[in-house]
Structure 1
Amino acid sequence: MKRIILFIATNLAVMLVLSIVLSLLGIGRPGAGGQLQLGSLLAFSLVVGFTGSIISLLMSKPMAKWSTGARVIDAPQNSTEQWLLSTVQGLAQRAGIGMPEVAVYEGEPNAFATGAFKNSALVAVSTGLLQSMNREEVEAVLGHEVAHIANGDMVTLTLIQGVVNTFVVFLARVVGFFVDKVLLRGNEDRGPGIGYMVTVFVCEIVFGLLASIIVAWFSRQREFRADAGSARLLGSTAPMQRALARLGGMEPGALPQNIAASGISNGAGWSALFSTHPPFEQRIAALQALR
Structure 2
Amino acid sequence: MNEFAHIELDEKRLADQTLQYILKNQNTGLRSSLFLEILDPRIKYGDLNDHIELLKERLSHLKFFIDYNTVEFKNTLTGFSDHTHQTITLLGRKMSEKENFSKEIFWASPKEEEAYHKISQFNSFEDKIVDEKKLYNVLINGPFFNVKGWILYYQALLDLKFAEFSEKIVSGKTIIKYRPFKGKYFIGIETDYQSCKINFRKGWWEEPGYKLIIFEKLEAKKITKVVIFERFVHPHFDPPAFSFLWFFGSKTRYDVSDIETVTDDGTRKEFLEDGTVRLYNTNKFEDDYKRHAYYYYDMLYQTTKEYIRFIEESFDPEE
Q: Same fold (TM over 0.5)?
A: no
The answer to which structure, 1 or 2, has the higher relative contact order (CA under 8 A, 6+ apart) is 1
Which protein is richer in strand relative to its size? Answer: 2
* Structure with more of its chain in helix, by fraction: 1
